[in-house]
């Protein structure tokens, strides 16, 4: 009975409901005997996603003619994200930071972890993502989570981190 912690990017893609790999992973999870109870998110994930959407909303309000996404569409996105987060909050599946996670987060803050974006740009992993990884490493009730995230070479350099790449479960 493994438990899974979805990365913020995976949660972001699920909320879009556009048949992206993270959503297909969730659909395929039924056949693998994974229940909704087995899937959690980090406490920083709602913050991370809301921040991204608020940035887009601010840009769209400031310069509507140049905005990549119009305001009503971003509002739809925010509403849908909030509903999704409420589902996790209701069942106590948003994992708060406790002292054990904080200790592991401290270890990760001292590590240089570099991710690559789809366009090939390299960037240092932000501290919020390190909280997610620390949460996956510590887990809940002495059982670490499997971290559900798209492939990054840097995952292999994080001791003890079990990762599942949703792209492997894609129907495409």
Partner 1 sequence: MSEFAKTLLGFVEQMPDSRQKLEFLEALQVCPPIELEVVPEERANKSMNHLRKRALESGQAYVIARAGRVDNLAHAAFVLSSDTILSLIDSVREGTERKTARRRPASALLAQLKPLDASFVKMRLEPRSQEEAIGGRGRVF
Q: Does 14 bind partner 1 (CB under 8 A)?
A: yes
Question: Considering only 97-105, 123-131, 157-165, which stretch makes contact with partner 1 by CB under 8 A?
Answer: 123-131
Six-digit token string for 23: 């959503």
Six-digit token string for 48: 């991370």
Q: Does 105 bind partner 1 (CB under 8 A)?
A: no
Distance of alpha carbon 68 from alpha carbon 125, whole angstroms: 25
Touching partner 1, residues 62-101 (CB under 8 A): 68-69, 73, 76-77, 80, 83-84, 87, 91-92
Contacts of 72 (CB under 8 A, 6+ apart): none
Distance of alpha carbon 141 from alpha carbon 25, whole angstroms: 25
Q: What are phi and psi for residue 80, nearest 5 degrees? A: -65, -40
Cβ at position 159, least distance to partner 1 in Å: 23
Q: Does 137 bind partner 1 (CB under 8 A)?
A: no
Distance of alpha carbon 63 from alpha carbon 80, whole angstroms: 24
Q: What are phi and psi for residue 153, nearest 5 degrees? A: -55, -35
Could you say which of 5, 26, 137, 138 contacts partner 1 (CB under 8 A)?
26
3-state DSSP call for residue 49? helix
Which CB, 83 or 168, lies closer to partner 1? 83
Question: Considering only 6-14, 96-104, 130-138, 156-164, which stretch makes contact with partner 1 by CB under 8 A?
Answer: 6-14
Q: Does 107 bind partner 1 (CB under 8 A)?
A: no
Distance of alpha carbon 107 from alpha carbon 63, whole angstroms: 42
Q: Write out the residues near partner 1 by the rule CB under 8 A.
A: 1, 8-9, 12, 14-18, 20, 23, 26-27, 29-30, 33-39, 48-49, 51-52, 54-56, 68-69, 73, 76-77, 80, 83-84, 87, 91-92, 117-118, 123-129, 140-141
């Amino acid at each position: 009975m493994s438990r899974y912690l979805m990365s913020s990017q995976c949660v972001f893609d699920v909320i879009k409901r556009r048949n992206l790999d993270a959503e297909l992973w969730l659909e395929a999870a039924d056949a693998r005997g994974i229940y909704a109870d087995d899937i959690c998110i980090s406490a920083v994930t709602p913050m991370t996603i809301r921040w991204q959407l608020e940035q887009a909303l601010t840009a769209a309000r400031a310069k509507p003619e140049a905005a990549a996404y119009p305001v009503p569409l971003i509002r739809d996105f925010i509403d849908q994200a909030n509903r999704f987060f409420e589902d996790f909050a209701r069942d106590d599946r948003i994992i708060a930071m406790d002292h054990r996670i904080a200790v592991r987060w401290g270890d990760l803050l001292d590590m240089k972890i570099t991710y690559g974006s789809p366009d090939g740009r390299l960037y240092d992993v932000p501290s919020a993502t390190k909280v997610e990884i620390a949460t996956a490493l510590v887990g809940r009730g002495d059982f670490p989570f499997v971290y559900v995230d798209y492939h990054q070479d840097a995952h292999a350099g994080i001791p003890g981190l079990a990762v599942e790449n949703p792209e492997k479960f894609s129907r495409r």
